[in-house]
């Protein structure tokens, strides 16, 4: 199976059934930055963010990602400030302006004019909404591992996520396990023979090795560049890791995993009885396809069709606790209090 198809099917499974031994209410997302010192240096294939004590408050706040600078701004729900004073001195003015505009648009901030100046405040206190973050590296075929070992070594030594797991379709040998850091969990994913009674092909996950808890609240080591005989590294403080974890959780919350599109092709049968949720399944190729890289006039099976009207956000809204348009703190609070 292609890595793309494997990833989408695994995301759909994790959303509907949860990780082995965990409940199914985690936020599932894909392709998020998983490094700190060099943000693009590690991309996590799948991220599961487990709800924390104030998950409901976050659900009610907004369905979008809240910008980091807006979360850190010095404007609580009871304190309105001139917007330029609300952002830290080291926050670049353009970043502050863009965070301000975004926070107003998604209803995390509200504003009013005082003497011609825009004063803002947070609509609600930013909640303590997430707990454990689990990163999953997809490698359906261990015969073509690419950078797998280096990626997993980064996860283990950096300790940005609470658990890191390798998911594969391959038979996992002792030699494979020896090459993978001992902290990393290993899943073997297969398609079960039995259906779930409504025609869905069900994935089955065999836990080959349980993941160990990584030290997210201690300094971590992030490898930057490998040279013969030595590796350049960065030491990453727990504070920087905590900020990046919040960014990952926010990105996961706003983005989810349905960040794909359906091919404009008659061969696409997204709602076949194969899956529990619409996925870009191609009947000509007999598998899930990546419309961005595989579809179009250059494909021999291409049969142009008008775009499929599947609302992926509505799917997410229907199948998970996430809401596209939550009732919102702004409406709940309107009229109850005034600017401080
Ligand atoms: S363009 Fe090709 S790969 Fe894409 S859906 Fe059509 S037949 Fe399948």
Q: Is the pLDDT of residue 127 over 50?
A: yes
**pLDDT class of 104 with cuts at 50, 70, 90:** very high
The mean per-residue pLDDT over the stretch 6-21 comes to: 94
pLDDT > 90: percent of the chain: 79
- DSSP class of residue 43? E
pLDDT for residue 330 is more than 70: no
* 340 pLDDT above the threshold of 70: no
Confidence of residue 334 (pLDDT cuts 50, 70, 90): very low
Mean pLDDT, range 55-84, rounded to an integer: 93
- pLDDT over 60 at 182, yes or no: yes
**Among residues 28, 24, 57, 25, which one has the least CA distance to residue 251?**
28
12 C-alpha to ligand 1 centroid (Å): 21
Task: Name which residue leads in pLDDT, 305 or 214.
Answer: 214
Q: Is the pLDDT of residue 327 over 80?
A: no
Please, which pLDDT band fits residue 308 given cuts at 50, 70 and 90?
A: confident
Average pLDDT (127-150) is: 96
**Ligand 1: residue whose CA is nearest its atom 4:** 295
d(CA 59, CA 298) in angstroms, rounded, equals 43
Given a cut of 50, whether residue 105 has pLDDT beyond it is yes
The per-residue pLDDT for 336 is 40
What is the predicted pLDDT for the residue at 339?
42
* CA 4 / ligand 1 centre spacing (Å): 15
Question: Rounded to two decimals, what is the model's pTM?
Answer: 0.92
Give me the chain's average pLDDT, please.
91
Q: Is the pLDDT of residue 198 over 80?
A: no
Q: 81 pairs with which residues across the strands? A: 120
Asked if pLDDT for residue 274 goes beyond 80, the answer is no
pLDDT tens for 288-301 read 999 999 999 999 99
**52 to 11, 189, 328: CA distances (angstroms):** 21, 28, 19
User: Within a 10 A sphere around the Cβ of 124, how many other Cβ atoms?
Assistant: 20
- Which protein residue has the closest C-alpha to ligand 1 atom 6? 302
Q: How far is the CA of 169 from the centre of ligand 1 (A)?
A: 24
Q: Give the mutation target among 261, 285, 286 for probing the ligand 1 site: most ligand atoms within 8 A of CB.
A: 285
Is pLDDT of 175 > 70?
A: yes
Is residue 187 within 8 A of residue 208, CB to CB? The reply is: yes
Query: Cα(122)–Cα(79) distance, rounded to whole angstroms?
Result: 8
As a whole number of Å, the end-to-end CA separation of the chain is: 57
For a mutational test of ligand 1's pocket, the pick from 260, 283, 294, i.e. the residue with the most ligand atoms closer than 8 A to its C-beta, is 294
pLDDT band at 337 (very low <50, low <70, confident <90, very high): very low
| Inter-residue contact 272 to 82 (CB < 8 Å) | no
Residue 328: per-residue pLDDT: 59
Residue 306's pLDDT is what?
82
Given pLDDT bands bounded at 50, 70 and 90, which one contains residue 275? confident
Q: How confident is the model at residue 335 (pLDDT cuts 50, 70, 90)?
A: very low
Distance 9 CA to ligand 1 centre (A): 18
Q: Indicate the domain borders of the chain.
A: 3-55+128-255, 66-124, 261-309
Q: What is the pLDDT of residues 144-159, one digit of tens each?
A: 988 999 999 999 999 9
pLDDT reading at 186 higher than 60: yes
Cα dihedral sign, 274-276-282-288:
negative
- Kindly tell me if the per-residue pLDDT of 338 is higher than 60: no
CB contact burial 169-204 (16+ within 10 A = b; e otherwise): beebeeebeeebeebbbbbbbeeeeeeeeeebbbbe
**What residues contact 2, with CB distance under 8 A and at least 6 apart?**
140, 287, 288, 290
Neighbours of 119 (CB within 10 A): 19
* 15: Cβ contacts below 8 Å, ≥ 6 apart: 24, 28, 257, 277, 319, 320
Asked if residue 288 has its Cβ within 6 Å of ligand 1, the reply is no
Phi, psi of 175 (to 5 degrees): -65, -40
- Look up the CATH architecture of domain 3-55+128-255: 3-Layer(aba) Sandwich (3.40)
Is residue 269 in contact with ligand 1, taking CB distance under 6 Å?
no
Per DSSP, the residues of 149-212 read HHHHHHHHHH--SSEEEEEESSPPPHHHHHHS-TTSEEEEEEEEEEE-SSS-EEEEEEEEEPPP
Tell me the per-residue pLDDT of 229-261, one tens digit each, with 9 for 90 and over.
999 999 999 999 999 999 999 999 999 999 999
């Amino acid at each position: 199976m292609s890595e793309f198809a494997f990833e989408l099917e695994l995301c759909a499974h994790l959303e509907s059934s949860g990780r082995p031994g965990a409940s199914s209410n985690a936020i599932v997302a894909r392709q998020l930055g998983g490094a700190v010192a060099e943000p693009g240096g590690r991309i996590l294939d799948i991220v599961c963010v487990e709800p924390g004590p104030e998950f409901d408050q976050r659900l009610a706040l907004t369905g979008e990602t809240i910008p980091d600078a807006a979360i850190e701004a010095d404007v609580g729900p009871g304190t309105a400030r001139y917007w330029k004073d609300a952002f830290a001195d080291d926050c670049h003015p353009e970043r502050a302006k863009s965070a301000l505009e975004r926070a107003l648009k998604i209803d995390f901030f509200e504003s009013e004019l005082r003497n011609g100046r825009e004063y803002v405040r947070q609509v609600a206190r930013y909640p303590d909404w997430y707990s454990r973050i689990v990163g999953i590296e997809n490698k359906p075929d261990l015969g073509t591992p690419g950078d797998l070992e280096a990626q997993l070594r980064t996860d283990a030594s950096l300790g940005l996520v609470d658990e890191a797991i390798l998911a594969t379709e391959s038979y996992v040998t002792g030699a494979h396990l020896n090459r993978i850091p001992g902290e990393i969990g290993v899943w073997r994913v297969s398609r079960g023979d039995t259906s779930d009674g409504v025609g869905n092909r069900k994935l089955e996950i065999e836990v080959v090795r349980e993941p160990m808890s990584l030290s997210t609240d201690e300094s971590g080591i992030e490898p930057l560049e490998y040279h013969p005989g030595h590796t350049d590294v960065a030491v990453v403080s727990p504070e920087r890791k905590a900020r990046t974890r919040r960014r990952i959780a926010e990105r996961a919350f706003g983005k989810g995993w349905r960040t794909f599109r359906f091919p404009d092709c008659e061969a696409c049968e997204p709602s076949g009885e194969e899956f529990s949720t619409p996925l870009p399944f191609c009947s000509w190729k007999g598998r899930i396809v990546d419309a961005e890289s595989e579809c179009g006039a250059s494909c021999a099976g291409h049969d142009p069709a008008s775009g499929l009207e599947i609302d992926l956000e509505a799917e997410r809204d229907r199948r998970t606790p996430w809401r596209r348009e939550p009732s919102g703190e702004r409406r709940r609070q309107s009229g109850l209090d005034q600017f401080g």
